[in-house]
Amino acid sequence: MSLTENPELPSAVLSDAVLDTLAPAFPAGAVDELRSQVHGPVYAAGDDGMAAEVATWNVAVQHTPAVAVGASCAADVAAAVSWAVAHDLRVAVQATGHGPVRNAAGSLMITTRRMQGVQIDPERRTARVEAGTKWVRVLEAAGKFGLAGLCGSSSDVGVVGYTLGGGMGSLGRKHGFAADHVQAVEIVTADGRLRRLTAGSEPELFWAVRGGKGNFGIVTAIEIELFPVSGLYAGGIFFAGEDMAAVLHAFRQWVPTLPDDVSTSVAIMRMPDMEFLPPPLRGQTAVHLRYAYSGTDFEEGERLVAPMKAAGRILLGFIGPIRSTEMDAIHMDPVDPMPAWEKGMLLADLTEQTVDALLAAAGPQVDIPLIMIELRLMGGAFGRQAAVPNAVPGRGGAYAVYVIGPGIPELAQVVPLVGRGVLAALAPWKAPETVINFLGEVSGPEEVAAAYLPATIERLREVKRAVDPDGIFSFGHAI
């Protein structure tokens, strides 16, 4: 069955189950033909090196594409997309492997991690970043000029996927979503053409890509705005689990007092009893406060966080002056590949009753197999539309909730049930949208569509029909 044989089932809206049954078929020698058209390596199913090429950071999802192309440049991407269309294959893309949603089975997968170019323009305060680049390279390159990009909780994550899915980082309440500060996008669409999108060039597609992520083509590079940030007053502290109720209620009362210079979150953490953790945290349930003050008066940064420091017994941590290249110290996200189940939503409010509901579902008295439940403060610039509007959902949210559990086979049925149960306990305060990067596991396009307001998803689908009518790009957070 090809992508176009059944007009009653347009591939852009096929379910995951149906998509995964579409068996690729192409003539002998076709893969050799593709190898002659690209500079990077090409693997067919069964080839040595295929598994390593398509390996994910979140190893709970493993890809089994029919063909993989290790793109070394935009021309490789264009050639691979054209070849896939000619041979009736859908196209998937992966950079760092942090955000896989499901197995890209039977696809042509383009991996972009070899595309590592970073060009800083200190006068214009911009960076041109190729598709496989991680944030750490951008922060290091920009930091030499006293500049920084709107990195998320980890600099180990790829710039492009994070940004086009919204991008909600430690400078976000001051500057907004990372997608709000994209000045240009270079993208290969289903016709195999490399396009450069700006506010004045193909504005509708430029609007859609910033927030619609990988639905419209393969992005080969983006140009982003940088900000003067030489340092922050930032870090994180861990509170003892027995003080969880006091800390969470203190957080609820504290955050409405904060200026936009402060971005913060609090997370319930269930730590494994393993040697790589500091002794005070091993095997413990703790509450992790993450804090970033981007103003210039560090004494003010300390004054603002002082009420939270007094909220409970501190097990470990540091909040103080850091360089912009040290922002990983705020969230302390893991860097080694791991299996994880993830799911999130936004809250319209955080009331006393909301916190009590969270404590009842996930407090220290409950034995649940979840690694983290985070409440991240939104508002500020997150709530304002970008100067050049985009499709990023979630501007009406007050807080983001993000749940992570171990994605191991032994808990494959339990973790999603428990994680969704925690989110269900908070459902009375749910906001109508969800940030795409926090959407996590999805059952199919309709669940992705529900992350957007109705008018936004209809506009996105109009753009999709215009640039990808046959649903060539139907993996990831497909609409």
Q: Average of pLDDT values for 424-430?
A: 98
Residues 6+ apart with CB under 8 A from 384: 176, 395
- Range list of β-strands (E), 90-177: 91-94, 108-111, 118-121, 126-130, 147-148
Q: Which CATH class is domain 118-228?
A: alpha beta
Whether 1 shows a pLDDT value over 80: the answer reads no
Region for residue 174 given its phi and psi (left: phi exceeds 0; alpha: psi -120 to 50; beta: otherwise): alpha
Q: Chain-wide mean pLDDT for the chain?
A: 94
State how far the Cα of 172 lies from the Cα of 164, in Å rounded to an integer.
15
pLDDT per position as a tens digit, 382-403: 999 999 999 999 999 999 999 9
In this structure, the chain runs to a length of: 479
Q: Average of pLDDT values for 307-322?
A: 97
Q: Average of pLDDT values for 71-76?
A: 98
Residues 6+ apart with CB under 8 A from 235: 291, 317, 318, 319, 320, 322, 329, 330
Predicted pLDDT at 99: 82
State how far the Cα of 378 lies from the Cα of 58, in Å rounded to an integer.
26
Identify the helix (H) or strand (E) that includes residue 265. Answer: strand 262-270
Predicted pLDDT at 3: 41
Distances (CA, A) of 55 to 109, 111, 304: 11, 10, 43
Q: How confident is the model at residue 26 (pLDDT cuts 50, 70, 90)?
A: confident
CB atoms within 10 A of CB 297: 12
3-state secondary structure of 44: strand
Whether 10 shows a pLDDT value over 90: the answer reads no
The yes or no reply on domain 231-438 and CATH 3.40.50.150 is: no
Give φ, ψ of 348 to 5 degrees: -85, -20
pLDDT per position as a tens digit, 80-116: 999 999 999 999 999 999 989 889 999 999 999 999 9
Predicted pLDDT at 24: 65
Distances (CA, A) of 302 to 252, 297, 340: 19, 9, 35
Percent of residues, the chain, with pLDDT higher than 70: 95
The yes or no reply on domain 11-111 and CATH 3.30.43.10 is: yes
Question: How would you classify the pairing of strands 67-70 and 108-111?
Answer: parallel
Q: Give the DSSP letter of residue 205.
A: H
Domain assignments of the chain as residue spans, ordered by start: 11-111, 118-228, 231-438
Predicted pLDDT at 34: 98
In this predicted model, which residue has the larger pLDDT, 28 or 111? Answer: 111
State how far the Cα of 223 lies from the Cα of 131, in Å rounded to an integer.
11
Beta bridge partners of 70: 111
Whether 48 shows a pLDDT value over 60: the answer reads yes
Q: How confident is the model at residue 445 (pLDDT cuts 50, 70, 90)?
A: very high
Q: Average of pLDDT values for 337-353?
A: 97
